[in-house]
Amino acid sequence: MNSELIIALLGFAVALVAVIWAVLERGRADRAEARVGDLQATAARVQVIEEMAARNAELLQAEAAGAIAEQLIARANESFELREKIAEEKIAGQLKPVTETLEKFQKQVTDMETARAQETGGLREQIGALLQASTAARDETQKLTAALRRGVGVQGRWGEQTLRNVLEMAGLQNRFDFLEQVTVSSGERRQRPDVVVRMPGGGELVIDAKVSIGAFLDAQDAPDEAQREAALVRHADSVRTHVRTLASRGYQDELGGSADFVAMFIPGDSFLVAALDRQPDLLNEAMAQKVVVVTPTTLFALCKAVSYGWRVEDQARGAAEIAKVARELYKRLSDMGGHVAGVGKALTQAVEKYNQVVGSLESRVLPQARRFEALGVDHEGKPMPELPHVETGVRPLARLDPKADDGAA
């Protein structure tokens, strides 16, 4: 009986312990489950925090990249503007002397054209003036005849004055283009030709006026044809004598650099015509002795050619100056072309650097920044801008090649 009771008590105790143990295990299990739930909730919160931190980091990185891109673009724009300003200042500085040179060149060309037009008009005026003078001379023939009959001295002064008038009408200036009464020395002999004309190139032309028209005037007053003819023969002989006398003086041999002939001036075409009618070989004989017989008409043409030669020489000097200016202009244009080429090279390098920055942004920064759009980050309606590449290159400066210009024409 006692054994059964003890066994029953032991069984009850075991059952009680089992129940208590079960209750304790149940409590531990509940606490463990609660702990697991807390840990899971904490892990979820940590994961959310980590995701938010990652998103914030990416957002900050994108904003930093955008700011860097904006700074780079701003610096590139500032660099472009600065280089453009410097280039404009350099080009303006180079163009200023070029513009001045072109204006000087244009002025010289205009002056040459104006001078040529004035020469053409002046020649017509001078020919007209010569014709008027010839007409006036015919009207004053009677008065002149009376004056010339006074003596050889009057005839000589008249011849010298007529010679001076013809030279000045031809455009030559006294004491500049011709000299009067120049003393020529050769050993002990001293001579003075009436006029020495300076010619282009340093040459000189001696002109001596010879007026012996007493016989010619006698012929005009002769009462009959026989006496008139005899007077004209004497006149032709007088002209021949003057030719021989002038040839014997050898002025052309005593003036260095002078023409190889001497001009003998007769102050009237009719005087020479009357002599040639009686002695047709007079001119050939004179030229054989290096004497050229000239009248106002032929001397005017000869001196006009000399005057024209002076103008041609002046124009040649002007053309040489123009060529000098043109060479200087070409040199300055070449220098400016070098500066422009340097500006173009700098612009090309700036474009290359800009394209490199754009390429780096597009490949390394913008793809990460665009992920925010996929993640739904609020970008305030401002999408990520597209950065264009600059594909247009700087046009190279062509060489100054006249052959290329001719081929293009």
pLDDT tens-digit series, residues 255-265: 665 667 888 88
Q: Do the domain assignments include residue 315?
A: no
Tell whether 148 and 206 lie within a shared domain.
yes
Tell whether 24 and 74 lie within a shared domain.
yes
What are the two backbone dihedrals, phi and then psi, of residue 186, each rounded to the nearest 5 degrees? -145, 100
Tell whether 80 and 32 lie within a shared domain.
yes
**Residue 12 belongs to domain spanning:** 1-120+325-377
Residue of 199, 190, 160 whose CA lies nearest to 308? 199
Rounded average pLDDT over 314-318: 76
Show which of 243, 277, 294 is a domain's final residue: 294
In the predicted model, is pLDDT for residue 243 greater than 80? yes
Map tokens 């009237």 to a residue.
268
pLDDT value of residue 307: 79
69-128 per-position pLDDT tens digit: 677 777 777 777 777 778 777 777 766 777 777 778 778 878 887 877 777 777 778 777
Asked if 289 and 311 touch (Cβ cutoff 8 Å), the reply is: no
Enumerate residues 6+ apart whose C-beta is below 8 A from 111. Answer: 318
Q: pTM surpassing 0.85?
A: no
Distance CA 273, CA 265 (A): 13
pLDDT value of residue 397: 64
Tell whether 145 and 80 lie within a shared domain.
no
For 108, the token pair is: 């010289």
For 86, the token pair is: 């410097």
Tell whether 163 and 210 lie within a shared domain.
yes
For 99, the token pair is: 């513009």
Tell whether 147 and 106 lie within a shared domain.
no
In the predicted model, is pLDDT for residue 246 greater than 80? yes
Residue 99 buriedness (CB in 10 A; 0-12 / 13-18 / 19+): exposed
Q: Is the dihedral of CA 34, 39, 40, 45 positive or negative?
A: positive
Q: Taking all residues of the chain, what is their mean pLDDT, rounded to a whole number?
A: 76
pLDDT value of residue 312: 79
Rounded average pLDDT over 159-181: 81
- If one counts the domains in the chain, the total is 2
Tell whether 110 and 2 lie within a shared domain.
yes
Show which of 294, 313, 344 is a domain's final residue: 294
Distance CA 396, CA 209 (A): 71
Helices then strands, counting H and E runs in the chain, come out as 11, 7
Enumerate residues 6+ apart whose C-beta is below 8 A from 346. Answer: 83
Rounded average pLDDT over 381-393: 64
The residue among 27 and 230 whose pLDDT is bigger is: 230
The residue among 408 and 19 whose pLDDT is bigger is: 19
Longest Cα–Cα distance of the chain, Å, equals 220
pLDDT value of residue 378: 59
Tell whether 147 and 112 lie within a shared domain.
no
DSSP state of 351: H
In the predicted model, is pLDDT for residue 400 greater than 60? no
Tell whether 214 and 337 lie within a shared domain.
no
Strand partners, 184: 191
Show which of 294, 315, 345 is a domain's final residue: 294
349: helix, coil or strand?
Answer: helix
The residue among 325 and 240 whose pLDDT is bigger is: 240
pLDDT value of residue 185: 62
Cα 179-181-187 angle, rounded to 5 deg? 110
pLDDT value of residue 404: 47
The percent of residues above 90 in pLDDT, for the chain, comes to 0
Q: Do the domain assignments include residue 112?
A: yes
Asked if 158 and 212 touch (Cβ cutoff 8 Å), the reply is: no
Tell whether 151 and 109 lie within a shared domain.
no
Map tokens 């955008």 to a residue.
66
In the predicted model, is pLDDT for residue 180 greater than 70? yes
CATH code at position 201: 3.40.1350
Tell whether 93 and 171 lie within a shared domain.
no
- pLDDT band for position 338 (cuts 50, 70, 90): confident
Tell whether 288 and 147 lie within a shared domain.
yes
Cα 102-108-110 angle, rounded to 5 deg? 100
The residue among 320 and 284 whose pLDDT is bigger is: 284
